[in-house]
């Protein structure tokens, strides 16, 4: 996959998945704007890419504000002359159950994930439209946004919103040949190490042990590098026909998520009273009620 001549911004790319995305894009030939809130981390990531023969510059800034979004776009244009790809990856966690979650917990997570994706995409699209040569918005979602997850009101809501951004922007930008897709990754990172079910696999990987087949296939759980290929594909000309999709990847698994749809339909002449709904629910609707949370398979040793 050759991305020579393309310029990408990857937010939150100093570590983990973001660094894997930035590194893979640079290895494929793209020039990359690396971003992290920590200046030392951002500079080190950019230096690592350059040392490997790639092109990269660093921007140390917190994603969320319009000012940061414009700074990232301006840096791409000043440093490399154009902008073709935005990977909106920056994120933060503040997990608590609903009744213990503070306004600050909610606001910070939605500011970085949801508003940060919006402001960065808006600034990027303005530039892409000016160039008139199309572009790629690659928005990073999460299984929590697809299924919900205990203790993640703020994060799950933001990630669900990000997938909806991709659907809306796919419609709004298609005539400009700008695509918008959501990537739903699963990988061993500092974030997933906080998930008790996944922590043993993260610990094993850090200890140099191979990831078991159960994790790579049944859990779709692997390394950040396992996810990066999808980002490179979506940044390329080969993905021109992919738009408005939510695509899962992790370990050995690549998957395509469905869009929500009505699964049961019943009709009542004149409309539905509360009593009529109660009478029909158990027979017509209850058997098709949807589960909440991701249903993970049981490990072979359990």
Cβ atoms of 258 and 184 within 8 Å: the answer is no
State pLDDT tens for residues 223-236: 999 999 999 999 99
pLDDT at position 86, please? 98
The chain-wide mean pLDDT, for the chain, equals: 95
Domain that holds residue 163: 7-256
pLDDT at position 164, please? 98
Tokens representing 131 are: 């160039």
Q: Catalytic residue at 257? A: no
Which residues, in sequence order, are CB contacts of 15 under 8 Å at separation 6+?
Answer: 36, 41, 45, 189, 190
State pLDDT tens for residues 118-164: 999 999 999 999 999 999 999 999 999 999 999 999 999 999 999 99
Cβ atoms of 48 and 54 within 8 Å: the answer is no
Mean pLDDT lowest among 36-40, 187-191, 255-259, 278-282 = 187-191
Question: Which CATH number do you get for residue 152?
Answer: 3.40.50.720
65: DSSP letter = B
Angle at 196 (CA atoms; ends 195, 198), nearest 5 degrees: 70
Sign for the CA dihedral angle at 42, 44, 49, 53 comes to positive
Please name the residue ranges forming H helices in the chain.
Answer: 16-27, 39-51, 66-80, 103-110, 116-131, 143-147, 153-173, 199-206, 213, 224-235, 274-280
Give percent of the chain with pLDDT exceeding 70.
Answer: 99
pLDDT at position 298, please? 82
How does residue 191 score in pLDDT terms, banded at 50, 70 and 90? confident
How does residue 199 score in pLDDT terms, banded at 50, 70 and 90? confident
State pLDDT tens for residues 244-288: 999 999 999 999 999 999 999 999 999 999 999 999 999 999 999
Of 21, 155, 257, 267, the catalytic one is 155
1 is a domain residue: no
pLDDT at position 211, please? 85
Span 168-174, mean pLDDT?
98
283 is a domain residue: no
74 is a domain residue: yes
249 is a domain residue: yes
How does residue 197 score in pLDDT terms, banded at 50, 70 and 90? confident
Cβ atoms of 36 and 246 within 8 Å: the answer is no
Residue with tokens 């990537």: 183
Span 48-57, mean pLDDT?
98
**For residue 58, pLDDT beyond 80:** yes
Helix %, strand %, coil % for the chain, to 5?
50, 15, 35
Span 189-203, mean pLDDT?
78
Number of other residues whose CB lies within 10 A of the CB of residue 49: 24
273 is a domain residue: no
Domain count, the chain: 1
Contacts 24+ apart (CB under 8 A), 287-294: 288/263, 288/264, 290/263, 292/147, 292/148, 293/147, 293/148, 293/149, 293/150, 294/143, 294/146, 294/147, 294/149
251 is a domain residue: yes
266 is a domain residue: no
**For residue 204, pLDDT beyond 90:** no
**For residue 302, pLDDT beyond 70:** no
Tokens representing 26 are: 């640079």
What predicted TM-score, i.e. pTM, was given to this entire model?
Answer: 0.95
Give percent of the chain with pLDDT exceeding 90.
Answer: 86
Label residue 195 exposed, middle or buried (CB < 10 Å: 0-12, 13-18, 19+): middle
301 is a domain residue: no
Sign for the CA dihedral angle at 177, 256, 230, 166 comes to positive
């Amino acid at each position: 996959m050759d991305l020579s001549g393309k310029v990408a911004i990857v937010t939150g790319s100093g570590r983990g998945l973001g660094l894997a995305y930035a590194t893979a894009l640079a290895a494929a030939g793209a020039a990359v704007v690396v971003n992290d809130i920590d200046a030392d981390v951002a500079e080190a990531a950019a230096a690592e890419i350059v040392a490997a023969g790639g092109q990269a510059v660093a921007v140390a800034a917190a994603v969320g504000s319009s000012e940061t979004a414009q700074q990232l776009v301006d840096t791409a244009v000043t440093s490399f002359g154009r902008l073709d790809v935005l990977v909106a990856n920056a994120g933060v966690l503040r997990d608590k159950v609903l009744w213990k979650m503070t306004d600050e917990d909610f606001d910070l997570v939605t500011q970085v994930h949801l508003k940060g994706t919006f402001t960065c995409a808006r600034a990027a699209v303005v530039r892409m439209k000016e160039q008139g040569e199309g572009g790629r918005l690659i928005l990073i979602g999460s299984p929590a946004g697809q299924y919900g997850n205990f203790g993640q009101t703020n994060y799950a809501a933001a990630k669900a919103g990000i997938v909806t951004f991709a659907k809306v922007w796919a419609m709004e930008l298609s005539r400009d040949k700008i695509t918008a897709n959501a990537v739903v990754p699963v990988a061993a990172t500092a974030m997933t190490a906080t998930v008790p079910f996944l922590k043993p696999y993260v610990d094993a990987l850090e200890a140099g042990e191979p990831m078991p087949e159960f994790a790579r296939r049944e859990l779709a759980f692997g390394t950040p590098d396992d996810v990066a290929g999808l980002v490179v594909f979506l940044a390329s000309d080969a993905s021109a026909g992919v738009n408005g999709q939510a695509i899962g990847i992790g370990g050995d698994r690549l998957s395509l998520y469905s869009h929500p749809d009505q699964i049961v339909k019943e009709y009542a002449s004149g409309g539905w009273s509360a009593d009529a709904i109660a009478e029909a629910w158990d027979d017509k609707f209850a058997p098709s009620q949807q589960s909440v949370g991701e249903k993970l398979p049981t490990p072979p040793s359990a």
